Amino acid sequence: MSKTTKQTNIGNGGETHQVAGKDHETMTTQVGMPIADDQNSLKLAPRGPHLLEDQIFREKLFHFDHERIPERVVHARGYGAHGTFELTDDLSDLTRAKVLTEVGEKTEIFVRFSTVAGNKGSPDLARDVRGFAVKFYTKEGNWDLVGNNIPVFFIQDAIKFPDLIHAAKQEPDRAFPQAQTAHDNFWDFISLMPEAMHMVMWIMSDRTIPRSFRFMEGFGVHTFRLVNAAGKSSFVKFHWKPRLGVQSVLWDEAVKINGADPDFHRRDLWDAITAGDYPQWDLGVQVFDEDFAERFPFDVLDATKLVPEEDVPVRIVGTMTLDRMVDNFFAETEQVAFQTGNIVPGIDHSNDPLLQGRNFSYLDTQLKRLGSPNFNHTPINAPKCPFAHLQQDGHMAMHNPRGRANYEPNSHGLGPREDPERGFRSYEVEETGVKQRVRSETFADHYSQARQFYLSQTEVEQGHIADALIFELSKVENPAIRERVVSHLPNIDGDLAEMVADGLGLGEMPEAAIPAREVVETEPSPALSILANPPETFAGRKLGILVTDGIDGALFDDLSQAAKNAGATVEIVAEKVGGVTTSRGRTIAADQKLDGAPSVLYDAVAVLASAEGAAKLARMHSARTFLADAHAHKKFIALSDDAQNHFWSAAVPEDPDGGVHAIDSADDAEGFLKACKALRFWERDA
């Protein structure tokens, strides 16, 4: 063969075709992933069925099918930001993905946080799972890690996803309730799906009412594969750990925040990034092999299960920093299209049936939402690495193949070709079995990890779970549904079942549901608790200072400086937004008017008042509730002498406790901010 010819294998019989001409650029998917084989679809065996996970085939046919161009059904309420991911630990022993092997390399990313059940106009503090989706614009194409702030999910098989969402959304005859699960349809469905009980413990915990996107963990949920250059595979679970720690609000706060500021989470992220206080998360991986998966008491392909960090520690491999807000919400946050099928060479899917279904659903969803198979042409979705394919035409086509040949193979020597060396190859797993609709028996334990999660919580957190269940089920009109939900709880914890039954006023405990598989006793996992892992920092939080005329300006400066030293921001609240005048005639401008800034908007509060100002606050309902709510929500409180002597008893008819600090000096202010690192004074009586 001459030096000017190139040999390419084509056709079913492995024939060779001599193609004259130059070297060709590597063929990729729309998001830039190199393709190793463009001649054959992915099958279970040479004569076996085609596999649903074949993203290359599905993208190619999907685009062809729609060549001739609405609000998301779920995750409609979202907010996004740009940033970078920097790798700090080389994983080349585990994967050939460049994004995970080139230490020091900074990869552009886009993150979208969201609620799941609510519509676009719903409030931020609905009790709900939070989406945590990250798009990596890697050198080898876009990798979308489409996760949640909870590591497990409600269902095991994607065929049940429409039922889950239909049950959680507004009831179709009345179109309410909005953005909440406290209604008959949701709990009816859940009560008939024991596999959801682990997730129920999570959604009834404080995890579903986060204080901020910035104080929220993220999880890839599924078990994925890492594949190294030698073709060796390991299982992996992905974690995002917030540098500022995990923090949630109380339910009473969530209800009041939704009234005071329904954009609370959006505003928090916007304010932090625009002020240069860039939030960061560490990317961690749990890596384990087939032997561990075989020994583990639960199936690692079951999305309703997790792998405790005590069993497989999380290895931190890099850091994500969000440092730029979008230029246009619609063009970026609204039009961004995430797909679990977007992976890169060195990362692969597992046989998790929920993941396999998501791989199909996400691609199909983007066509409906964005109206064209060319949605990856939009800047927010387009890869930032070179890409080349032969897909053409359709609505929104920003670029088409150049030249005469828009097909391959061709004898013109034109267009991209697959690259067996660089291209993506699915990990080769030998699969045998009868083709059937079935659920693996290894998925049948529905209560053991739900029990483990509950027992891993502190006493305070366990109380919150019980209270949440009581509240949600109290909104259920059908007594039979309430009883059926409670019947599952003895399999999780007897005391929890008793608390919920008593809180609902059930005459007697329903007969316990019969587990499909006997509950396995597992050790508690402290890593699953928020309060057992406090951040021990007040950085990134907000101090609300209520001020009146006649205050000591020096004390105000001391407190503001102490907050700044702690890495917190300060917001000034006054009767009038014009501000106040100190005892020496200095004007301090206010950020918020008192009746529009309840204490639920702050992580800790202080009241600096003159004697006359404190007496006036004592007569104002908005001022009394500002302080009373802060106390009821177990926040740390600072009071100047006059505020304590002339205002405290009018708002909180109790003696100050360990969470209330009298401040009269710079040392007092520093001591108060040091105490605020604990975030809440949980020892305070309810």
- Measured in degrees and rounded to the nearest 5, phi and psi for residue 565 equal -60, -30
Sign of CA dihedral 111, 245, 201, 257: negative
Domain definitions of the chain by residue range? 23-69+385-427, 78-156+197-370, 445-528, 542-678
Q: Does domain 78-156+197-370 have CATH number 2.40.180.10?
A: yes
Residue 350 CA to residue 104 CA, distance in Å, equals: 29
CB 486 within 8 A of CB 234: no
Residue that is written with structure tokens 């699953």 in the block: 528
CB 318 within 8 A of CB 87: yes
**3-class secondary structure per residue, 329-345:** CHHHHHCCCCCCCCCCC
459-474 and 494-504 helices cross at what angle (nearest 10)?
40
Residue 416 CA to residue 369 CA, distance in Å, equals: 30
Q: Which helix (H) or strand (E) holds 401?
A: none
Q: How many other C-beta atoms can be found within 10 angstroms of the C-beta atom of residue 477? A: 8
Q: Considering the domain 542-678, what is its CATH architecture?
A: 3-Layer(aba) Sandwich (3.40)
Instruction: Name which residue leads in pLDDT, 431 or 263.
Output: 263
CATH superfamily of 445-528: Catalase, four-helical domain (1.20.1370.20)
**Is the pLDDT assigned to residue 289 strictly greater than 60?**
yes
Of 24, 63, 142, 148, the catalytic one is 148
Residue 158 CA to residue 365 CA, distance in Å, equals: 14
- ∠ Cα 306 425 296 (to 5°): 20
**What is the pLDDT, as a whole number, of residue 212?**
98
CB 348 within 8 A of CB 225: yes
**What is the pLDDT, as a whole number, of residue 276?**
97
- Cα distance from N-terminal residue to C-terminal residue, the chain: 85
**Is the pLDDT assigned to residue 41 strictly greater than 90?**
no
- Nearest CA to 390 out of 409, 371, 366 is that of 409
The gap from C-alpha 290 to its chain's centroid, in whole angstroms, comes to 28
Per-residue pLDDT, averaged over 232-236, amounts to 98
The yes-or-no answer on residue 342 being catalytic is no
Residue 496 CA to residue 488 CA, distance in Å, equals: 11
- The Cβ-side half-sphere exposure at 396, using a 13 Å CA radius, reads 17
The yes-or-no answer on residue 148 being catalytic is yes
CB 83 within 8 A of CB 324: yes
Per-residue DSSP letter, 571: E
557-605 tens-digit pLDDT = 999 999 999 999 999 999 999 999 999 999 999 999 999 999 999 999 9
337-373 tens-digit pLDDT = 999 999 999 999 999 999 999 998 888 888 888 888 8
Residue that is written with structure tokens 């429409």 in the block: 162
Residue 636 CA to residue 606 CA, distance in Å, equals: 8
621-632 and 611-618 helices cross at what angle (nearest 10)?
90
Structure tokens at 378: 């939009």
476-495 tens-digit pLDDT = 999 999 999 999 999 999 99
Mean per-residue pLDDT of the chain: 92
**Is the pLDDT assigned to residue 13 strictly greater than 50?**
no
Of 24, 63, 75, 198, the catalytic one is 75
Per-residue pLDDT, averaged over 498-505, amounts to 98
Give the predicted TM-score (pTM) of the model. 0.90
**What is the pLDDT, as a whole number, of residue 482?**
98
**What is the pLDDT, as a whole number, of residue 71?**
86
Beta bridge partners of 286: 237
Instruction: Name which residue leads in pLDDT, 12 or 461.
Output: 461
CB 388 within 8 A of CB 26: yes
Residue 15: which residues within 8 A CB-CB, separation 6 or more? 9
Between 5-9, 24-28, 62-66, 345-349, the lowest mean confidence (pLDDT) is in: 5-9
Q: Considering the domain 23-69+385-427, what is its CATH architecture?
A: Irregular (4.10)
Per-residue DSSP letter, 50: B
